Amino acid sequence: MRLWSVFFVFLIICAACSLPPEKPFTKEQIYKTGIYTYYTVEESPESVLSAINKDGEVVLNAKYRNRDVWIKLLGKLDGITVQIIEK
């Protein structure tokens, strides 16, 4: 019984991890998020695209009006979601 509960917890933890998307995202979808319009992002769109297609998510260092922020991009079935986190 204990073995099954450990297996079940392990399964839930693995399912919660980010996975690569089924359909790769395009550079146009990255530009539609507006991160390169409103924020100063150090990484190139190509490297961001590669990371999100490989891992399913990416966290970027950026600046917004001289404030440091992190931008988290998460690839989902309905598109890319953006979360802004102040440092």
pLDDT in tens, 65-81: 999 999 999 998 888 99
Q: What is the pLDDT of residue 6?
A: 57
- The pLDDT value recorded for residue 21 is 78
CA pseudo-torsion sign 8, 11, 16, 21: negative
List all residues 6 or more positions away from 55 whose beta carbon is below 8 Å from its beta carbon: 18, 20
How confident is the model at residue 20, as a pLDDT? 74
pLDDT of 55 > 80? The answer is: yes
Over residues 4-47, the pLDDT tens digits come to: 665 555 545 554 556 777 789 999 999 999 999 999 999 999 99
- Domain spans, the chain: 19-86
